[in-house]
């Protein structure tokens, strides 16, 4: 195992159990039991919890603690999970499979899937607003979360992506815009929220934001490469769906080699932005890991 891979594994071993327990506990007992079940179903599908882990590591990178950043980390995973549930709906990407299991609406019906997403999005803000944190940092984290998730961020990117499916022409600038909003905005917010909750100095916060921007781009390029080269079984979801639908991707615009070069450049940029941070080893390892991941 390379140094980066063993560092990532150590972070996962340390942080995943805490995240997995904390994420679903609030939705175990309540009057809307079936809705709670639908929310837990998608939260329990697992995955690597990239956004919450990056948030926690960003706090640690500036000398803060996991405890300080945990409400932000949970909020980010709630937002990410809601976005997957809604993106999988028939009116959006129409997917039956996610992380190797039937998608939320296949199990609970479309109405409950829409509501489970709505409730997770709401709970994201609720968990941050209820956290016993410095009130100024808490409000700033809430603002960043709304900015990353909303119409100038993730939701806006998903809308442009939906519209893109009907566009005849499509260039690299437009593709970059969509990804900066759809995937990049929430990844960037993950780092910046961690920075804020961990008590970053302004220059540290800006560096983590720029790192987040760069790994957001790398993450999306790798996603497109995997979609073009992997199988369903590799991914736990339908592979080749973008190409099959004539959707524009980095490999379709740049070729596979060109996309791999762009991925490597984005990763280098991310690493550069870490140079001045006191505890940068984990975030550096994650930048390598995200660019090399197999799903």
Nearer to its own copies, 100 or 150 (CB): 150
- Work out how close the CB of 110 gets to its own copies at its nearest, in angstroms, rounded to a whole number: 3
With residues binned 3-state (H G I as helix, E B as strand, rest as coil), the percentages for the chain, rounded to 5, are 75, 0, 25
Give the contacts of 91 (CB within 8 A, at least 6 positions apart): none
- Work out how close the CB of 145 gets to its own copies at its nearest, in angstroms, rounded to a whole number: 7
- Work out how close the CB of 163 gets to its own copies at its nearest, in angstroms, rounded to a whole number: 6
Q: Fill in the DSSP letter of residue 181.
A: I
Nearer to its own copies, 16 or 139 (CB): 139
Nearer to its own copies, 31 or 257 (CB): 31
Phi, psi of 245 (to 5 degrees): -95, 5
CA distance 121 to 76: 9
CA distance 46 to 265: 29
Q: Environment class of residue 167 by beta-carbon count within 10 Å: exposed (0-12), middle (13-18) or buried (19+)?
A: exposed
- Work out how close the CB of 94 gets to its own copies at its nearest, in angstroms, rounded to a whole number: 10
What's the distance, CA 227 to chain centroid? 17
Nearer to its own copies, 163 or 268 (CB): 163
Burial 118-151 (b: 16+ CB within 10 A, else e): ebbbebbbebbeebebeeebbebbbebbbbbbee
- 237 close to 295: Cβ distance less than 8 angstroms: no
Q: What residues line the site for its own copies (CB under 8 A)?
A: 27, 30-32, 34-36, 39, 82, 86, 89-92, 109-115, 117-119, 121-123, 125-126, 128-130, 135-136, 138-140, 142-143, 145-147, 149-152, 155-160, 162-163, 177, 181
Q: Which helix (H) or strand (E) holds 171?
A: none
Nearer to its own copies, 46 or 90 (CB): 90
- Work out how close the CB of 34 gets to its own copies at its nearest, in angstroms, rounded to a whole number: 6
Nearer to its own copies, 144 or 225 (CB): 144
- Work out how close the CB of 176 gets to its own copies at its nearest, in angstroms, rounded to a whole number: 12
């Amino acid at each position: 195992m390379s140094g980066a891979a063993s560092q990532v594994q150590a972070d996962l071993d340390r942080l995943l159990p805490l995240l997995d327990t904390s994420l679903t506990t609030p939705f175990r007992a309540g009057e809307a039991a079936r809705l709670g079940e639908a929310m837990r179903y998608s939260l329990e599908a697992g995955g690597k919890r990239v956004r919450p882990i990056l948030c926690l590591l960003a706090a640690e990178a500036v000398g803060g603690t996991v405890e300080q950043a945990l409400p932000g980390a949970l909020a980010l995973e709630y937002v990410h999970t809601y976005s997957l549930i809604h993106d999988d709906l028939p009116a959006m990407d129409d997917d039956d499979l996610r992380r190797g299991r039937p998608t939320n609406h296949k199990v609970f019906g479309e109405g409950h899937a829409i509501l489970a997403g709505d409730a997770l999005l709401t709970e994201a803000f609720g968990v941050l607003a209820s956290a016993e944190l410095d009130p100024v940092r808490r409000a700033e984290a809430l603002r960043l979360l709304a900015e990353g998730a909303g119409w100038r961020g993730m939701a806006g990117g998903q809308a442009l992506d939906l519209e893109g499916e009907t566009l005849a022409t499509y260039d690299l600038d437009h593709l970059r815009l969509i990804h900066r909003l759809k995937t990049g905005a929430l990844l960037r917010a993950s780092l910046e929220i961690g920075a804020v909750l961990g008590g970053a100095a302004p220059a540290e916060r800006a560096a983590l934001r720029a790192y987040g921007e760069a790994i957001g781009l790398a993450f999306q390029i790798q996603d497109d490469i995997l979609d073009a080269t992997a199988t369903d079984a590799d991914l736990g979801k339908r592979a080749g769906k973008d190409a099959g639908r004539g959707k524009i991707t980095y490999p379709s615009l740049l070729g596979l080699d060109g996309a791999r070069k762009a991925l490597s450049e984005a990763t280098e940029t991310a690493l550069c932005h870490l140079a001045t941070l006191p505890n940068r080893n984990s975030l550096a390892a994650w930048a390598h890991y995200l660019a090399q991941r197999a799903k």
